[in-house]
Amino acid sequence: MPPSGHTKPHVLVIGALGGSGTRAVADAFSRIGYVHGPALNRSRDCLSFTYLFVRTGWMDGPVPSVADRLAVLRRVAVSGTAPEAPPLDRLTDAVTERVPPAGSQPFMIKEPNSHIFADAILDAWPDASFLFVHRHPLDMAFSENTNQLKRWGPQLGIDAADSGSLEAAQLDLWIRAYETQVRRRSRYPGRTGELDYDRFVQAPEAVLSGTCSALGFHPSADVLAEACVGVVIPESVGRWRQADLSVFRADQIAWCAEHGWLDGPVS
């Protein structure tokens, strides 16, 4: 069944920095009516995306273009297989859940690293929208999940030595991703949006409703209520308030203050 009040998008791509709560957000959209699969890990990430765009070492020869890999990803999501890609079971033992392929139904690609490729996805798939999930930048800076910093930091010119500390490098990565998303919103009006996870866990139905509206569809109140069942507030929310902020540079603190983050999560 299509999402209630569905007009667009047919494809929803969800990305974020690691540890931003994308699983809870994706679970909500799955209950709204988006097919989420076909092969997921414990975090319910789309492993087809992971192995086509992140862990590409299994490929023989040059890595295909982003456009070619997106074509393969779409075939996998819609049909469950693609001749160009081996079954995931040959690549990883991380598959913990299988979902029937989407067929003609609206489907979702949830993989945090997708924000790195979001512009290319929106260019290649005119029926897709991208949702950037974020938490408070200082909470994320203190996260133990530094996988994206290790993977993408060198390409983006971000590392702990230059930033001043590991936490400062994490914050530099967050600011870069957030500012890129702000520019993306201007470039793709109506096709991308943000979801503040800290606000989502405080008022899940209201925040989810606003997010859906920004992306062009309007689930009913009953659908929203069912979608948000089980949303809880993690203990890590607000941890920055008890942390030593001297690990950050003065310009970083000034940026957070200028954008309202030192007073709590804001849009």
Q: What is the pLDDT of residues 175-201, one digit of tens each?
A: 999 999 999 999 999 999 999 999 999
Q: Classify residue 211: in a domain, yes or no.
A: yes
Does 56 map to a domain? no
Indicate the angle between helix axes 147-156 and 166-187, nearest 10 degrees: 70
Map residue 7 onto helix, strand or coil: coil
Q: What is the domain count for the chain?
A: 1
Which range has the worst mean pLDDT, 100-109, 194-203, 231-240, 251-260? 231-240
Pair 136, 265: CB distance under 8 Å = yes
Residue 52 has pLDDT above 80, yes or no: yes
Residue 180's DSSP bridge partners are none
For residue 25, give the nearest of 130, 131, 121, 137 by alpha carbon: 131
pTM over 0.85: yes
Structure tokens at 63: 């890595």
Query: Domain for residue 119, yes or no?
Result: yes
Average pLDDT score over residue span 98-115: 96
Which has the closest alpha carbon to 138: 177, 168, 161? 168
Helices (H), 33-187: 47-49, 66-79, 118-124, 137-141, 147-156, 160-163, 166-187
pLDDT in tens, 122-138: 999 999 999 999 999 99
Residue 108 φ then ψ, to 5°: -125, 140
CA distance 127 to 75: 15
Provide the pairing of β-strand 39-40 with 97-98: antiparallel
pLDDT band at 265 (very low <50, low <70, confident <90, very high): very low
Assigned domain for 235 exists: yes
The tokens for 195 are 């979801």
Domain assignment present for 74: no
At 215, list the tokens: 């992306």
Rounded Cα distance between 210 and 216, Å, is 10
Closest residue by Cα to residue 260 from 124, 136, 148 = 136
Q: Is residue 84 part of a domain?
A: no
Which tokens belong to 3?
């999402």
Q: Please name which of 16, 8, 7, 27 lies closest in space to residue 191, comparing C-alpha atoms.
A: 8
Question: Average per-residue pLDDT in the chain?
Answer: 92
The answer to whether residue 82 is domain-embedded is no
Q: Which residues contact 34 (CB under 8 A, 6 or more apart)?
A: 3, 12, 105, 106, 107, 108
Higher pLDDT, 182 or 265: 182
95 within 8 A of 41, measured Cβ to Cβ: yes
Q: Can you give the residue range of the structural domain that contains 202?
A: 11-34+106-263
Q: Is residue 115 part of a domain?
A: yes
Predicted pLDDT of residue 7: 63
d(Cα 103, Cα 108) in Å, to the nearest integer? 12
Structure confidence at residue 267 (pLDDT): 34
**CATH code for the domain of 187:** 3.40.50.300
CA pair distance 14, 63, nearest whole angstrom? 23
